Amino acid sequence: MEKTLENLKKNGFTVTRCATAKEAAEYLASTLRGKTIGMGGSMTLEALDVYDALAAQNQVYWHQAAPGPDTVERACNAQVYISSANAISEEGYILNIDGRGNRVAGTLMAKERVIFVVGRNKLAGPMSQALDRARNVAAPANARRLNKKTPCAVDGVCHDCASPDRICNALVVFWKRPYGCDTMEVLVVDEDLGY
Ligand code: SF4
Protein backbone atom coordinates (compact mmCIF):
# COMPACT_ATOMS: atom_id res chain seq x y z
CA MET A 1 0.00 0.00 0.00
CA GLU A 2 2.78 2.45 0.91
CA LYS A 3 4.35 2.30 -2.58
CA THR A 4 0.97 2.99 -4.19
CA LEU A 5 0.30 5.96 -1.92
CA GLU A 6 3.77 7.38 -2.58
CA ASN A 7 3.22 7.09 -6.33
CA LEU A 8 -0.19 8.77 -6.07
CA LYS A 9 1.53 11.73 -4.38
CA LYS A 10 4.27 11.82 -7.05
CA ASN A 11 1.51 12.00 -9.68
CA GLY A 12 0.10 15.16 -8.11
CA PHE A 13 -2.75 13.61 -6.17
CA THR A 14 -3.44 14.53 -2.56
CA VAL A 15 -3.63 11.45 -0.33
CA THR A 16 -5.67 11.33 2.86
CA ARG A 17 -5.99 8.22 5.02
CA CYS A 18 -8.79 7.23 7.36
CA ALA A 19 -9.06 4.10 9.48
CA THR A 20 -12.79 3.55 9.03
CA ALA A 21 -15.72 4.54 6.83
CA LYS A 22 -17.15 6.50 9.76
CA GLU A 23 -13.93 8.48 10.08
CA ALA A 24 -13.94 9.14 6.32
CA ALA A 25 -17.52 10.43 6.48
CA GLU A 26 -16.60 12.74 9.36
CA TYR A 27 -13.59 14.00 7.42
CA LEU A 28 -15.71 14.83 4.36
CA ALA A 29 -18.36 16.57 6.44
CA SER A 30 -15.73 18.61 8.28
CA THR A 31 -13.88 19.74 5.17
CA LEU A 32 -16.79 20.68 2.86
CA ARG A 33 -18.99 23.67 3.69
CA GLY A 34 -20.94 26.04 1.47
CA LYS A 35 -20.08 24.17 -1.72
CA THR A 36 -22.03 22.63 -4.54
CA ILE A 37 -21.19 18.93 -4.47
CA GLY A 38 -21.87 16.21 -7.03
CA MET A 39 -21.65 12.56 -6.08
CA GLY A 40 -21.25 9.65 -8.47
CA GLY A 41 -23.02 6.33 -8.26
CA SER A 42 -21.12 4.30 -5.71
CA MET A 43 -21.61 1.56 -3.15
CA THR A 44 -18.60 2.96 -1.29
CA LEU A 45 -20.33 6.32 -0.81
CA GLU A 46 -23.49 4.51 0.23
CA ALA A 47 -21.46 2.63 2.86
CA LEU A 48 -20.10 5.94 4.17
CA ASP A 49 -23.70 7.14 4.72
CA VAL A 50 -22.46 10.72 4.35
CA TYR A 51 -25.16 12.31 2.19
CA ASP A 52 -27.24 13.82 5.02
CA ALA A 53 -24.21 15.29 6.78
CA LEU A 54 -22.98 16.88 3.55
CA ALA A 55 -26.45 18.10 2.54
CA ALA A 56 -26.83 19.88 5.90
CA GLN A 57 -24.10 22.35 4.96
CA ASN A 58 -23.77 22.13 1.16
CA GLN A 59 -25.92 21.85 -1.96
CA VAL A 60 -25.52 18.19 -2.85
CA TYR A 61 -26.59 16.46 -6.09
CA TRP A 62 -26.67 12.67 -5.85
CA HIS A 63 -29.09 10.55 -7.85
CA GLN A 64 -28.84 7.68 -5.37
CA ALA A 65 -30.29 9.83 -2.57
CA ALA A 66 -32.43 12.43 -4.33
CA PRO A 67 -33.13 11.53 -7.98
CA GLY A 68 -34.39 14.32 -10.17
CA PRO A 69 -34.44 15.23 -13.85
CA ASP A 70 -31.38 17.46 -13.61
CA THR A 71 -29.55 15.78 -10.77
CA VAL A 72 -26.89 14.03 -12.83
CA GLU A 73 -26.12 17.11 -14.93
CA ARG A 74 -25.92 19.37 -11.89
CA ALA A 75 -23.69 16.86 -10.14
CA CYS A 76 -21.24 16.97 -13.05
CA ASN A 77 -21.10 20.76 -12.90
CA ALA A 78 -20.69 21.11 -9.15
CA GLN A 79 -17.64 22.72 -7.54
CA VAL A 80 -16.69 19.46 -5.83
CA TYR A 81 -17.21 15.94 -7.15
CA ILE A 82 -17.01 12.84 -4.95
CA SER A 83 -16.73 9.38 -6.46
CA SER A 84 -15.13 6.07 -5.75
CA ALA A 85 -12.75 4.35 -8.16
CA ASN A 86 -12.80 0.85 -9.59
CA ALA A 87 -9.10 0.42 -8.92
CA ILE A 88 -5.89 2.24 -7.99
CA SER A 89 -2.77 0.86 -9.60
CA GLU A 90 0.61 0.49 -7.94
CA GLU A 91 1.94 3.20 -10.29
CA GLY A 92 -0.51 5.60 -8.66
CA TYR A 93 -3.09 5.67 -11.48
CA ILE A 94 -6.83 6.00 -10.81
CA LEU A 95 -9.19 3.86 -12.94
CA ASN A 96 -12.92 4.08 -13.47
CA ILE A 97 -15.17 2.25 -15.95
CA ASP A 98 -18.56 3.78 -16.65
CA GLY A 99 -21.69 2.84 -18.57
CA ARG A 100 -23.48 6.14 -19.07
CA GLY A 101 -20.39 8.30 -18.64
CA ASN A 102 -21.76 10.74 -16.09
CA ARG A 103 -19.54 9.54 -13.27
CA VAL A 104 -16.32 9.78 -15.22
CA ALA A 105 -17.49 13.10 -16.69
CA GLY A 106 -17.94 14.45 -13.16
CA THR A 107 -14.35 13.60 -12.33
CA LEU A 108 -13.02 15.01 -15.62
CA MET A 109 -14.71 18.40 -15.59
CA ALA A 110 -12.64 21.27 -14.25
CA LYS A 111 -13.34 21.40 -10.55
CA GLU A 112 -12.13 22.98 -7.38
CA ARG A 113 -11.77 19.53 -5.97
CA VAL A 114 -12.38 15.91 -6.93
CA ILE A 115 -12.32 13.32 -4.17
CA PHE A 116 -12.05 9.58 -4.82
CA VAL A 117 -13.04 7.56 -1.75
CA VAL A 118 -11.49 4.09 -1.96
CA GLY A 119 -11.45 1.15 0.41
CA ARG A 120 -8.23 -0.85 0.74
CA ASN A 121 -9.75 -3.52 -1.53
CA LYS A 122 -9.46 -1.08 -4.48
CA LEU A 123 -5.66 -0.93 -4.25
CA ALA A 124 -4.53 -3.33 -6.96
CA GLY A 125 -1.08 -4.28 -8.21
CA PRO A 126 0.47 -2.91 -11.41
CA MET A 127 -1.70 -1.31 -14.10
CA SER A 128 -2.53 -4.63 -15.80
CA GLN A 129 -3.91 -6.00 -12.54
CA ALA A 130 -5.78 -2.79 -11.78
CA LEU A 131 -7.47 -2.96 -15.19
CA ASP A 132 -8.25 -6.61 -14.60
CA ARG A 133 -9.81 -5.69 -11.26
CA ALA A 134 -11.96 -3.00 -12.86
CA ARG A 135 -13.15 -5.36 -15.62
CA ASN A 136 -13.45 -8.66 -13.80
CA VAL A 137 -14.31 -7.69 -10.23
CA ALA A 138 -15.94 -4.26 -10.10
CA ALA A 139 -17.91 -4.29 -13.35
CA PRO A 140 -19.48 -7.77 -12.97
CA ALA A 141 -20.45 -6.99 -9.36
CA ASN A 142 -22.07 -3.74 -10.47
CA ALA A 143 -23.85 -5.47 -13.35
CA ARG A 144 -25.26 -7.97 -10.89
CA ARG A 145 -26.32 -5.23 -8.44
CA LEU A 146 -28.08 -3.34 -11.23
CA ASN A 147 -29.85 -6.51 -12.47
CA LYS A 148 -28.27 -6.17 -15.89
CA LYS A 149 -28.79 -8.91 -18.46
CA THR A 150 -25.11 -9.46 -19.11
CA PRO A 151 -23.01 -12.64 -19.08
CA CYS A 152 -20.85 -11.28 -16.26
CA ALA A 153 -23.90 -10.96 -14.03
CA VAL A 154 -24.26 -14.74 -14.38
CA ASP A 155 -20.70 -15.96 -13.88
CA GLY A 156 -18.83 -12.96 -12.44
CA VAL A 157 -16.31 -12.69 -15.31
CA CYS A 158 -16.11 -10.13 -18.10
CA HIS A 159 -16.92 -11.45 -21.60
CA ASP A 160 -16.38 -8.10 -23.33
CA CYS A 161 -20.03 -8.47 -24.21
CA ALA A 162 -22.16 -6.82 -26.87
CA SER A 163 -25.20 -6.83 -24.62
CA PRO A 164 -27.59 -3.85 -24.78
CA ASP A 165 -27.22 -3.83 -20.98
CA ARG A 166 -23.42 -3.53 -21.14
CA ILE A 167 -22.19 -1.18 -18.38
CA CYS A 168 -18.60 -0.86 -19.62
CA ASN A 169 -18.61 1.84 -22.27
CA ALA A 170 -15.93 4.24 -21.08
CA LEU A 171 -12.66 3.83 -19.24
CA VAL A 172 -10.94 6.83 -17.66
CA VAL A 173 -7.45 6.56 -16.23
CA PHE A 174 -5.97 9.47 -14.35
CA TRP A 175 -2.21 9.22 -14.76
CA LYS A 176 -1.69 12.58 -13.11
CA ARG A 177 -3.83 15.45 -11.80
CA PRO A 178 -5.32 17.38 -14.74
CA TYR A 179 -4.61 21.12 -15.07
CA GLY A 180 -8.21 22.19 -14.56
CA CYS A 181 -8.65 20.59 -11.18
CA ASP A 182 -7.21 22.47 -8.19
CA THR A 183 -7.15 19.43 -5.94
CA MET A 184 -7.59 15.78 -6.88
CA GLU A 185 -7.64 13.77 -3.70
CA VAL A 186 -7.65 10.06 -2.94
CA LEU A 187 -9.23 9.32 0.42
CA VAL A 188 -8.02 5.85 1.35
CA VAL A 189 -10.05 3.98 3.96
CA ASP A 190 -8.45 1.04 5.73
CA GLU A 191 -11.55 -1.12 5.29
CA ASP A 192 -13.04 -3.05 2.37
CA LEU A 193 -15.68 -0.84 0.76
CA GLY A 194 -17.73 -1.22 -2.42
CA TYR A 195 -16.70 -3.44 -5.31
S1 SF4 B 1 -18.19 -5.68 -20.88
FE2 SF4 B 1 -20.13 -6.79 -20.57
S3 SF4 B 1 -19.48 -8.77 -19.72
FE4 SF4 B 1 -17.76 -7.38 -19.46
S5 SF4 B 1 -18.01 -6.60 -17.36
FE6 SF4 B 1 -18.93 -5.12 -18.81
S7 SF4 B 1 -21.09 -5.66 -18.87
FE8 SF4 B 1 -19.99 -7.40 -18.01
List, for residues 58-89, the tens digit of each pLDDT value: 999 999 998 887 999 999 999 999 999 999 99
Backbone angles phi, psi at 115, to 5 degrees: -120, 120
| 122 in any annotated domain | yes
Could you tell me if residue 134 is inside a domain? no
CA distance linking residue 181 with residue 80, whole number of Å: 10
Residue 80 contacts residue 40 (beta carbons within 8 Å): no
Backbone angles phi, psi at 131, to 5 degrees: -65, -40
Cβ 166 under 6 angstroms from ligand 1: yes
At residue 15, does pLDDT exceed 80? yes
Residue 153 lies in a domain: no
d(CA 111, CA 135): 27
> Would the CB of 87 count as within 6 Å of ligand 1?
no
Cβ count near 134 (within 10 Å): 24
Q: Which residue, by CA, sits nearest to atom 2 of ligand 1?
A: 161
**Using a 6 Å cutoff on CB, does residue 168 contact ligand 1?**
yes
Query: Does any domain span residue 61?
Result: yes
Q: What is the CATH number of the domain that holds 63?
A: 3.40.50.10420
Domain of 90 in residue numbering reads as 2-126+167-189
| Mutate which of 145, 152, 155, 157 for ligand 1 pocket (most atoms within 8 A of beta carbon) | 152
Assess whether the C-beta atom of 18 lies below 6 angstroms from ligand 1.
no
Q: pLDDT tens digits, residue range 140-161?
A: 999 999 999 999 999 999 999 9
User: Quick one: average pLDDT of 107-113?
Assistant: 89
Q: Is residue 37 very low, low, confident or very high in pLDDT (cuts 50, 70, 90)?
A: very high
Examine the pLDDT at 181 and tell me if it is beyond 80.
yes
DSSP state of 59: E
Q: How many structural domains compose the chain?
A: 1
CA 21 to chain centre: 14
Q: What is the mean pLDDT of the chain?
A: 96
